[in-house]
Structure 1
Amino acid sequence: MSDHIHWLIEQGITSEHIGDLVAGLCERLIAEGFPIWRASITMPSLHPMYRGVAANFVRGGVTTIENSEHGGIEERNFEKTPTFHLLSRGERKGRWNLADGEGLEYPRLKEFALAGGTDHVISIFEFPKEVALRGFSLSLTSDVPGGFSDDQLMTVTTLIPVLGLACYRMAASKTAADILAVYTGAKTSARILAGEAQRGKGGSINAAILLADLRNFTGLTEVYQPGEIAGFLDAHFELIGRHVEENSGEILKFMGDSVLAIFPIGSGEGDDPEKACRAALASARNMLKANEVLNRERTGKGGPDIGVDVVLHLGEVFYGNIGARGRLDFTVIGRAVNEASRIEKLCGELGQPLLMSESFAAACGVACEGLGSFELRGFSRKADVFKLADPIVASARKSAAIASDLA
């Protein structure tokens, strides 16, 4: 017994995966004669996409992780589970003799019984009530006649508090990482968790900058209810975020109806600005196409057409912690960010949903067409602004370049 407790404490400190925890514990107990056929640890999750996670062990098989989405089929069917039955009655333990036909009203237990299960037990352990992570449940299923002995169940009962401590530590660590990534982005959250949490901590990097702004969005707030406005923002931000992340970029912040994202170049000698620029350009083009599809679907139902203006820039920025001592924002600041913001104001004036700065156009490796030099508020020097060259013009330039090389 003490060996199991020591092992659980060690795993609780060093492991990050409940799959390893349930598999390791089951293998140890099976080695002592416990007739465990299946087992599962289930915990709620503090995540905008998932309401819970389960690690499912099968003797002789692969331990799998199952995420339950908010509003998904698992959530809708939760009331049909023995765990819900126990919680609704305020009970923390349950046992069903599958061989005698008990618990067959629950689809999962019926499935186990038909596959040869004989005994099913559940133990629920509550975490402190002030946290959103309410607790965890451990379920064990046997496939031998008679199932688990009283002594074996007593051993499990003794291990539950230690198992709960391990699960709580893992859940707290994962929740911190998941929530931080949701609010700051995966790459930024990794830097924060690695220790970059002090105000002013950061440094200069070169990056392709993408700034996307929903066109004429302020006017919609006078026509639609706040809940509808939030829905519009979510829909557009979802497609923008998807295409930024698909091209290895990272959204740093949502600013009202605008999105700021970067595609870092790095600091190595082999770093290629063109690679970052092409990634940003691919994101911009894909999100504009996806936005057209979204608008067609919405306007077909009588909703508004919401355009997106995108600006791409290349420059040096400060990437790090900015703010008050007790309230920081890990973001990018600097001249390049301000320039991108000023250029965005030209999208409507020029009738172009995608504009590029001179530095970006020169580095992206794609044919671009100059639109002129423009004054930017707060800057003494005019900025040359570009758009993607029309396909015919781009093809002609490519042919001319080939002819020049052959001459």
Structure 2
Amino acid sequence: MNAPPKIDPVAAHPDSDVLHWLTNDTRDERFIDNIFAELCVRLQRAGIPVKRASLHILIHHPQWLGARIMWVDGMREAEIARVDYDVRERSEYIGSPANEIHDGATEVRENLERDPSPGRKHAVYDEMREKGLTDYVAWPLYHTLGKRHIVTFATDRPGGFDDAHIGCLLKLLPILALVSEIRVKNRLARTLLETYVGSHAGELILAGATRRGSGTTVRAAIMICDLRDFTRISDNWPRDDVIDLLNGYFDAMSEPIARHGGEILKFIGDGLLAIFPLSHPSACADLLHAVAEARQAMVALNEKNSEAGRAPLNYGIGVHVGDVMYGNIGSRSRLDFTVIGPAVNMASRLETLTKQLGRTVLLSRAFADFVESDFDLERVGEYPVRGFSEPIELFAYHG
């Protein structure tokens, strides 16, 4: 008896090559938006008439809840839009397919060639009808431990998707869930590291710099900033007011530092430690530009605080330059990626001296040598600094 002829699964099931590609050929692509755009193009080539598709991912970034990845026929790349934390209070979300999925629906299907289904008169459906789309489907995309994201597909084919199209798309969901979860968790790990240790330190940690004691010597400009009278404020103000005040203060200080290439290594109570590596020729000038912008931001913050009946915030900044040890320090099971060394101690001492000398920003002579010709610095004099044998020549910077 002759053996039955072998059936080419790709020829028999036009979505099989898409599944094979998604399963086996995406390992070298780091970004889920690129994978999603390519997926949609491959679905079209397989005869599945996708005209518009979106992927809605919950990220829980410190500044935004998630992201919407949108692909439309003809786009070479998917479009990424951040989703704010308050989105669930907005009309664009209330009653939307995303709302239904997050409330537990396992499928949202809308025939866009007919009048809206009862209870589904949402703007997103009107928008799709106006663009000539005929059918829309949304499904939850399940990640580990029941975490639900959303994927949607729409078509302009007369009559919409047929049963075979829907079957092919459903077959993709488990693989798309796995592929997307890996990328989302990679992005989340990177985001968390950037948030808690800074972008440069985060990159080093992801690259394998996780062993206790591992590190390198870096020559850098060091900036330490501390809020004055914080103990009095925290003892006398309501907790939420104290947190709001600290967040406003750190925003005013941190955003200019990041804008000018500095890296905040840690927040210490009401203080912060930042470095500007001298691998950038303009690092010292960049630091002073950041200080000037931070001071302007603090003026604006104090005006806002005054309008709310709060006292102005005062602060001190100490700046030095030198070699620091940059790396992992801590116990066997709990590490901190930071900088240590005499140069850090000097910056800390200068910040403390700002109170004694009545200055907001104090710079060491070593730092001033890098920028004195380009910035208007006031020589304050020579002063003893605790822990250092010789007096240090100090300069004030008024921004």
User: Please, what TM-score do these two structures have when normalized by structure 1?
Assistant: 0.89
| CA distance in structure 1 between the aligned counterparts of 2:377 and 2:26, rounded to whole angstroms | 56
Select the residue among 116, 137, 141 that pairs with 1:125.
141
Q: Which amino acid aligns with 2:129?
A: A
| CA distance in structure 2 between the aligned counterparts of 1:67 and 1:75, rounded to whole angstroms | 15
Select the residue among 59, 81, 89 that pairs with 1:66.
81
Q: How many residues align?
A: 380
**Contact 1:204/1:317 (<8 A) preserved:** yes
**Contact 2:100/2:108 (<8 A) preserved:** no
Query: What is the CA distance between 1:78 and its match in structure 2?
Result: 2.2
Query: What is the CA distance between 1:350 and its match in structure 2?
Result: 1.1
RMSD in angstroms over aligned alpha carbons? 1.8
User: Which residue of structure 1 lines up, in the alignment, with residue 172 of structure 2?
Assistant: 159
Query: What is the CA distance between 1:11 and its match in structure 2?
Result: 5.2
Unaligned runs of 5+ in 2: 1-14
| CA distance in structure 2 between the aligned counterparts of 1:124 and 1:314, rounded to whole angstroms | 53
Query: What is the CA distance between 1:321 and its match in structure 2?
Result: 0.8
Are 1:281 and 2:288 an aligned pair?
A: yes
Select the residue among 368, 384, 392 that pairs with 1:375.
384
Are 1:112 and 2:128 an aligned pair?
A: yes
Q: Which amino acid aligns with 2:127?
A: E
State the Cα deviation string for residues 158-197 of structure 1 (Å, max 9, x = none).
1110111101111111110111111111111011111111
| CA distance in structure 2 between the aligned counterparts of 1:301 and 1:370, rounded to whole angstroms | 37
Match runs of 1:267-346 below 5 Å: 272=281, 275-346=282-353
Q: Which amino acid aligns with 1:106?
A: H
Q: Which moved more, 1:179-188 or 1:377-386?
A: 377-386
SS at structure 1 position matched to 2:86: coil
Query: What is the CA distance between 1:137 and its match in structure 2?
Result: 1.5
Select the residue among 8, 17, 37 that pairs with 1:23.
37
| CA distance in structure 1 between the aligned counterparts of 2:34 and 2:24, rounded to whole angstroms | 12
Are 1:254 and 2:270 an aligned pair?
A: no
User: Which residue of structure 1 lines up, in the alignment, with residue 12 of structure 2?
Assistant: none
**Contact 2:319/2:350 (<8 A) preserved:** no
Change (3 A) 1:102 1:16: farther
Q: Which moved more, 1:100-109 or 1:294-303?
A: 100-109
Query: What is the CA distance between 1:74 and its match in structure 2?
Result: 8.0
| CA distance in structure 2 between the aligned counterparts of 1:276 and 1:196, rounded to whole angstroms | 24
| CA distance in structure 2 between the aligned counterparts of 1:344 and 1:11, rounded to whole angstroms | 54
| CA distance in structure 2 between the aligned counterparts of 1:75 and 1:170, rounded to whole angstroms | 28
| CA distance in structure 1 between the aligned counterparts of 2:252 and 2:172, rounded to whole angstroms | 46
**Contact 1:12/1:170 (<8 A) preserved:** no
Match runs of 1:77-226 below 5 Å: 77-88=92-103, 90-103=104-117, 105-129=121-145, 134-226=147-239
SS at structure 2 position matched to 1:231: helix
Q: Which amino acid aligns with 1:37?
A: K
Query: What is the CA distance between 1:226 and its match in structure 2?
Result: 1.7
Change (3 A) 1:87 1:290: closer
**Contact 2:317/2:350 (<8 A) preserved:** no
| CA distance in structure 1 between the aligned counterparts of 2:173 and 2:254, rounded to whole angstroms | 41
Unaligned runs of 5+ in 1: 391-407
Query: What is the CA distance between 1:152 and its match in structure 2?
Result: 0.9
**Contact 1:12/1:169 (<8 A) preserved:** no
Query: What is the CA distance between 1:235 and its match in structure 2?
Result: 0.4
User: Which residue of structure 2 lines up, in the alignment, with residue 404 of structure 1?
Assistant: none
Q: Which amino acid aligns with 1:112?
A: M
User: Please, what TM-score do these two structures have when normalized by structure 2?
Assistant: 0.91
State the Cα deviation string for residues 194-215 of structure 1 (Å, max 9, x = none).
1111111111111011111112
State the Cα deviation string for residues 198-248 of structure 1 (Å, max 9, x = none).
111111111011111112121101210122111111001011110001110
**Contact 2:88/2:94 (<8 A) preserved:** no
**Contact 1:281/1:312 (<8 A) preserved:** no
User: Which residue of structure 1 lines up, in the alignment, with residue 5 of structure 2?
Assistant: none
User: Which residue of structure 2 lines up, in the alignment, with residue 402 of structure 1?
Assistant: none
| CA distance in structure 2 between the aligned counterparts of 1:338 and 1:11, rounded to whole angstroms | 51
Question: Hey, which bits of structure 1, 4+ residues long, moved more than 3 A?
Answer: 72-77
Q: Which amino acid aligns with 2:383?
A: F
**Contact 1:18/1:41 (<8 A) preserved:** no
Select the residue among 34, 47, 51 that pairs with 1:37.
51
| CA distance in structure 1 between the aligned counterparts of 2:276 and 2:25, rounded to whole angstroms | 37
Q: Which moved more, 1:245-254 or 1:304-313?
A: 304-313
| CA distance in structure 2 between the aligned counterparts of 1:305 and 1:33, rounded to whole angstroms | 65
| CA distance in structure 2 between the aligned counterparts of 1:344 and 1:105, rounded to whole angstroms | 60
Are 1:9 and 2:29 an aligned pair?
A: no
SS at structure 1 position matched to 2:159: coil
Query: What is the CA distance between 1:79 and its match in structure 2?
Result: 2.3
SS at structure 2 position matched to 1:99: coil
| CA distance in structure 2 between the aligned counterparts of 1:91 and 1:367, rounded to whole angstroms | 64
| CA distance in structure 1 between the aligned counterparts of 2:296 and 2:32, rounded to whole angstroms | 41
